[in-house]
Amino acid sequence: MMSVINMIESGAVVILAALFLAFLGGRLDRSFWIKSIVVGMVFGATGLISMVSPVEFAPGFFADGRNVVMAFSGTIGGPVSAIITAATLSGMRMSLGGAGLAPALAGIWLVAAFSSAMWVWLHARGHAHLAPKHVLVLATMAAVLPPLALLGLGDASGNEVFQNLIALTVPTNFIGVLLLGFLIINDQQRRWAVSAYSESQARLQAIASNAPGVLFQLFIGPDGVGRFSYVSGGAERVLGVPAEDIVDKPGTISRMISREALAEVERHLIRSAETRQAWSLEAEFTKPNGEKVWMRAAAEPRIDVRGELVWDGSLFDITERKRSEQMKNDFISTVSHELRTPLTSIRGSLGLVAAGAAGEIPQKVAGLIKIAHSNSERLVRLINDILDIEKIESGRMPFDPRPMALRLLVEQAIESSGNYLADRNVSIILDDQAPGALAAVDPDRLHQVMLNLLSNAIKYSPQDGRVEVRLTRQENMIRVSVVDQGPGIPLAFQSRIFGKFEQADSSDSRQKGGTGLGLSIVKAIVERLGGLVSFETGPEAGTSFHVDLPEASDRRSVSRDTVSTDGQSAPRRVLVVEDESDIADIIAVALAQDGLQSDIAPDIETAKNLLASNRYVAMTLDMKLAGRSGLTLYDHLRNTAKGLDLPVIIISAFIDEARKSLNGSALGIVDWLEKPIDMDRLRAAVEKSTEGSFRRMPTVLHVEDDEGVLAVMSAGLGNAIAITSARNVQEARFELQQKHFDLVILDLTLPDGSGAELLSAIPSDTVVVIFSASEIDEHLAAQVELALTKTKTSEIAIAELVRKLTSARAGKFVAAPEQKG
């Protein structure tokens, strides 16, 4: 029993030594000599402790934990450690003396030599740590070598001593080495895992901190406000704020962005929490030093290990991109103005001279003028193509799709293409196999598509050839096909035909000229309209380009009312508001050829004076006048009696920006002409005004706080009436101050007061229709045109009444129903 206790004590001492070395951990690995000496001393001391109370199984023969200690000293610490431990243990054993001294010393040094050899073998093979198979070999060696030493020395104690040695030390050493070995292996694996985890954390932190942007993790706090649980070290470099401040001080980021941007972030988080979809936004940040930077934030939600919703995201500085975009926009705007304005003079002057406006010119001069005019047209198309492709790619090209009759748009495009390469004498034939076809398109953009396709077809058609435009139905699509008789498209070029600046490489194609942008623009516009563009080409001749557009479900016919309201011919005088004198003169000369007189106003004040003293059939308006916006004059025009119904033709070097600036208030605009001015289109627009085919769109103010009623009424009134919505008394007062309305639909119960308060602010010539859930008393009903109660009259019926009331031109209405209420 005592022997078992002593062996357990020895094993416990050895385990403590192993734990002590594990505590020192990797710090010993920094120096071979330090590790060897420390390991040797620790295991030597451990062996001494285990030998203090050995088990004497025969006179002079002792059993203890020295061989277990010796095995690990050499295997872990190497030869130097083995020598230190073996010397220490040998000295202790010599002090005990006895008959078994020689075999005991031999056993110690045999184990020391074998364990050192194992250390050398492990390092030669690149094994930094012990494996279970190594421990098994070591345990076998520690169990076998001491008995072999006893046998080799031929001790006189006989077989009984050897048997006792085998029975006691062999299993003890074997099991002891196994237990201690696996303890060391587990500690090595633990230290390796901790080290690997620390290394991976350090690596990830270094990567995150040196990334171009800022990485973050966001969650919603108990107060419903977004908070950061992690922010990478790049925050200080990018935002000028330490990452710790962002995490520890909620509100640090929110103080760097505007309220609108913060509200947008909150909306994104709420929506993302509901849909589990990623989100992104761009916002301007203000650093603590006052510097403004643009950042793009993007994050994706997930559920973490605690079951909570978090967003892993990134924040990147896009300031340079924003600056580049602004520089590009400024450059495009400058190019648009500085190129288009002089081209207007060049093309217009050449066109007028070629048409004989300056009198008869010699035949040779006429030929030169024709060449110059043709090339000016080519230059105009080049500039327009370059500017258009940039607008499409940047998303700045406006689209206003609405149900339109395709035949009418196609006819207009065919007419506009009539003068293109007229000397080739190419005829254009329209084959309408889809009568009455409607498609939701932007008429200007579709016109641009058709012009590109038709000019391309004309350019490649043979002399006296024919181009066919065909309209057909295919399921729910309307197909517009442009078919020419020109050479087929080379097979090698077909895959690149819709690319930018792409042209066939044949010499014949090079001779045709062009930018190679036309078909790319066609594809981009058609796809934005929800359609597809394709082509078919013959092996040698004939190509068909197809534009497939979804057929519109709205079958309302397009108004083509050309009836004048008074039946009298209008004075044929046009006000030309243009600060470029040469352009104004060209417009005046062009209008004079059609028998129209022109007054030229170079600025807004002159235009106001002329409008007050004269009556005009139309007005051309440049949106940029001597540094001021033409929008000022337009607003003034629509708030005067004479200008309320005056047809306006907008002229601008940047027509898309002009459309945006009017923002839906463009009532009474006959056409939008882009510089350089197409004189034929200008004449057509003026003729449309003077012949009475222009009719001002009626304007309606709907004062209503219920979104459903507003939506139904808007849909019921359709596109033939310009409707403005006001959701409370304050908004209604503002709208009434801004412009004149033909009719007001008024709800009496509004969030900030009664609609009746607005009656005094509504002009006497404006028709008022009360449409309210409240009952209307007789006194109030007597002050308005109609007083109708909700639920008793539907919104659709109200819309029909409004159409009838606004059917007359210039604010003059048909007779109202006899009864009110």
- Which helix (DSSP H) or strand (DSSP E) does residue 620 occupy? strand 618-622
Q: How far apart (Å, rounded) are the C-alpha atoms in residues 283 and 298?
A: 11
Q: Report which listed range, 135-139, 482-486, 613-617, is most confident.
A: 482-486
Task: With a cut of 80, say whether residue 799 has pLDDT above it.
Answer: no
Q: For 699-811, which CATH class?
A: alpha beta
**Nearest Cα to 738, choosing from 793, 799, 788, 665?**
665
Q: Band the pLDDT of 297: cuts 50, 70, 90.
A: very high
Residue 506 identity (one-letter amino acid): S
Q: Are 30 and 19 in contact (CB under 8 A)?
A: no
| Over residues 98-118, mean pLDDT | 85
Distance of CA 747 to the CA centre of its chain: 41
Q: How far apart (Å, rounded) are the C-alpha atoms in residues 573 and 617?
A: 6
Q: Are 408 and 430 in contact (CB under 8 A)?
A: no
Q: Are 227 and 218 in contact (CB under 8 A)?
A: yes
Among 3.20.20.70, 2.60.40.3080, 3.30.565.10, 3.30.930.10, what is the CATH number of 398-550? 3.30.565.10
Largest CA distance in the chain: 148
Q: Are 469 and 430 in contact (CB under 8 A)?
A: yes
3-state secondary structure of 391: helix
Instruction: Say what the pLDDT of residue 208 is.
Output: 66
- The tokens 């206003």 sit on which residue? 400
DSSP state of 324: H
Residue 281 identity (one-letter amino acid): L
Q: Which two tokens stand for residue 686?
A: 């003026």
Distance of CA 438 to the CA centre of its chain: 33
Instruction: Say what the pLDDT of residue 557 is.
Output: 34
Instruction: Say what the pLDDT of residue 567 is.
Output: 37
Q: Are 688 and 670 in contact (CB under 8 A)?
A: yes
Q: Band the pLDDT of 344: cuts 50, 70, 90.
A: low
787 burial (CB, 10 Å; 0-12 / 13-18 / 19+) is buried
Among 3.40.50.10420, 3.40.50.300, 3.30.420.40, 3.30.450.20, what is the CATH number of 211-317? 3.30.450.20
Q: What integer best gives the mean pLDDT of the chain?
A: 78
Q: Are 780 and 770 in contact (CB under 8 A)?
A: yes
Q: With respect to CATH, is domain 2-194 assigned 1.10.1760?
A: yes
End-to-end CA distance of the chain: 116
Residues 6+ apart with CB under 8 A from 308: 219
Which has the minimum average pLDDT: 20-24, 225-229, 254-258, 353-357?
A: 20-24
Q: Band the pLDDT of 2: cuts 50, 70, 90.
A: very low
Q: How far apart (Å, rounded) are the C-alpha atoms in residues 449 and 113?
A: 92
The residues spanned by each domain of the chain are 2-194, 211-317, 398-550, 573-690, 699-811
Q: Band the pLDDT of 810: cuts 50, 70, 90.
A: very low
DSSP state of 790: B
Q: What's the fold here for domain 573-690?
A: Rossmann fold (3.40.50)
Q: How far apart (Å, rounded) are the C-alpha atoms in residues 160 and 166?
A: 10
Q: Are 584 and 682 in contact (CB under 8 A)?
A: no
Which has the minimum average pLDDT: 300-304, 569-573, 585-589, 673-677?
A: 569-573
pLDDT in tens, 127-156: 767 788 888 888 888 888 887 877 776 554
Instruction: Say what the pLDDT of residue 421 is.
Output: 72
| Over residues 572-591, mean pLDDT | 86
Q: How far apart (Å, rounded) are the C-alpha atoms in residues 123 and 33?
A: 15
| Over residues 718-730, mean pLDDT | 85
Q: Are 429 and 537 in contact (CB under 8 A)?
A: no
Domain 2-194 identical in fold to domain 398-550: no
Instruction: Say what the pLDDT of residue 792 is.
Output: 46
| Over residues 60-86, mean pLDDT | 82
pLDDT in tens, 534-573: 998 876 678 999 999 998 864 333 333 333 333 344 447 8
Which has the minimum average pLDDT: 27-36, 43-52, 453-462, 554-563?
A: 554-563
- The tokens 């099991």 sit on which residue? 175
Instruction: Say what the pLDDT of residue 294 is.
Output: 93
